[in-house]
Amino acid sequence: MKDRVISTPLADEVVESLHAGDRLLITGVIYTGRDAAHKRLVELIDRDEPLPVDLKGQIIYFVGPTPPKRGEVIGSAGPTTSGRMDVFSPKLTAIGLKGMIGKGSRNNAVKDALKRDKAVYLGATGGAGALLAQRIASAKVVAYEDLGPEAIRELEVKEFPVVVINDMYGGDLYVEGRKKHERKGES
């Protein structure tokens, strides 16, 4: 299976064309954010105040990168467990967020929000943070600098490798994978 290259920001037509199991290479700008940043963003949404970044059509990568070594753009940048963002994600897709990158499964509220808001959840390989960092051409803090590694960063990525885990149609790679590989009972 060939990897498909997509560019950000994501248009509805691109999201509509994605299905669980598709392998993608993302080129363009993505944002970082973990639970502390998500909490602040949702508090702003709840107060009907402007966000520090426009998330319409964007992708958030659940990562807290390590500090860069001399000559590096960013340190190790592996995905964090996505479940910690489940409580916040539906409010972000409701305002136009089109993609999230992390590791692990998502709850039903997030999967429902992906269908409702035409968005996708993408998986990056855990444990491969140093390799993923090589696909990041630039990184700059754009909000919540006080959060250190959990600050919101704007990353420019080139062919950043991900797999569609949950699509907008209810497809779930984890569920499909288990079904495909579970043993059939003997009769």
Question: Which residues belong to the active site?
Answer: 38
Distance CA 179, CA 149 (A): 37
Contacts 24+ apart (CB under 8 A), 133-136: 133/65, 133/72, 133/73, 133/74, 133/75, 133/76, 133/77, 135/159, 135/160, 135/161, 136/73, 136/74, 136/77, 136/160
Distance CA 82, CA 13 (A): 25
* CB-CB contact of 180 with 174 (8 Å): no
* Closest listed residue to residue 101, CA positions, set 60, 57, 139: 60
Strand partners, 59: 99
